Amino acid sequence: MSLAAGASVRFDDVYKSFDDTVVLAGVSLDVEPGEIFALLGPSGSGKTTMLRLLAGFEQLDRGCLLIADEAVEHLPPARRGVGMLFQSYALFPHLSVAENVAFGLKVRGGGRGDVQARVAEMLELVRLGGFEARRIAELSGGQQQRVALARALAPRPRVLLLDEPLSNLDPALREETRIDLRHTVKQTGITTVLVTHEQEEAFELGERIGLLNDGRLEQVAAPAELYQDPASRFVATFVGRCSVLPGVVEARGAGDALEVRIGSQRAPQVWSCQGGGGIEAGDRVDVCVRPEALEIEALELAPGAKTGLRGEIEVERYTGSSSFYTVRLTAPSDGFGAAADSVSVEVAMPGAAAGLSGACVVRPAAQEPPPRVFPAGSTGAGS
């Protein structure tokens, strides 16, 4: 495989505004050579702007952009050594598959023999050998995406940029295409930065993920760390499913260990949790807990239960691999800043629906990591 080696990418204190709207506020980020890095975040968080700045389609207001330790913010797009796979693919319908892949090579003045050899190499890479003469309209959505990828890789870029690369595909095709895309990109060794609002896509493709919120990076981490050890309440609630309960810290233990009182003052429950520095005994906190980190039991089976929060099952949903229960807590107001009867939690149980209904008890699952705790009312990492 003849591709340029993967290059490092650095955003150094980058600012970008459109009119009076700040889109990026001092973003700093390092992407390693050969890494697949995913930018994830809600609409308007700044992730697409970061990609467009790197491509040269927008100009930053302040800061530096570096590729392979070379400042590129003043270079035109054609001189930055980046290839881009657009969300729409931007293929030319009047050209054949081979002509589409060859387009960038011809613009750069490649010789005919070299261009033909490179096109054949790229089509073999994306498993479209023999499709050279096909028209774009004759291809499936997944095949069109692979043509666009081959075209982006053909000029041997230093960095590959992917803008929502799977958004135009039917859900049934996305999983298969994600696997193919990751395999192809890793086979080339090229540094890749992708933008997506789909968490599943970011988790499957990204070796690390940068989660953006209001123009700032909330956390940069591997997918498992982002899910299991969120740096802020925003990260915990944006990534995956998460319920938030009000609580008060009873005591600090060793390291990040906390004992947190949850529930009414008349029937308090003390849960073992984890929280960062700066949280002390007596502080009001938000307890963020994943559905799989809770267990549920019908109250009639545990009438004297003292280790759980009482509630009423409102909704049961069966997804095939798991059953999800939405439980409305029924304890009286606790003075922690929220009435318990206004709080719901979601509980996941593996396998088929158990048919639970009515009154129940919810408690932390023994084999799961403890819930994460953040200062009450906080949102982002800088709150």
Q: Are both 228 and 245 inside the same structural domain?
A: no
CA–CA distance, 32 with 148 (Å, rounded to integer): 24
| Number of domains forming the structure of the chain | 2
Amino acid at residue number 40: L
Which domain range does residue 246 map to?
241-375
Mean pLDDT for 8-18 is 97
Question: Is there a domain that residue 3 lies in?
Answer: no
Q: Are both 192 and 331 inside the same structural domain?
A: no
pLDDT at 238 over 50: yes
Helix (H) or strand (E) holding 121: helix 112-125
Task: Grade residue 359 by pLDDT with cuts at 50, 70 and 90.
Answer: confident
96-123 pLDDT per residue, tens: 999 999 987 876 666 677 888 999 999 9
CA–CA distance, 92 with 337 (Å, rounded to integer): 58
Contacts for 103 with CB less than 8 Å, ≥ 6 apart: 92, 95, 151
Question: Is there a domain that residue 1 lies in?
Answer: no
311-334 pLDDT per residue, tens: 899 988 888 778 899 999 875 444
160-212 pLDDT per residue, tens: 999 988 777 777 777 778 888 888 889 889 999 999 988 989 999 999 999 99
CA–CA distance, 60 with 73 (Å, rounded to integer): 7
Percent of the chain exceeding pLDDT 90 equals 52
pLDDT at 81 over 50: yes
Q: Are both 36 and 134 inside the same structural domain?
A: yes
CATH number, residue 71? 3.40.50.300
Final residue before a domain boundary, out of 170, 199, 233? 233
Two structure tokens written together for 357: 């209904």
Question: Is there a domain that residue 380 lies in?
Answer: no
Helix (H) or strand (E) holding 233: helix 233-238
Q: Are both 145 and 61 inside the same structural domain?
A: yes
Q: Are both 141 and 29 inside the same structural domain?
A: yes
Cβ atoms 161, 170 nearer than 8 A: no
Final residue before a domain boundary, out of 177, 208, 233? 233
Burial of 367 from C-beta contacts in 10 A (0-12 / 13-18 / 19+): exposed
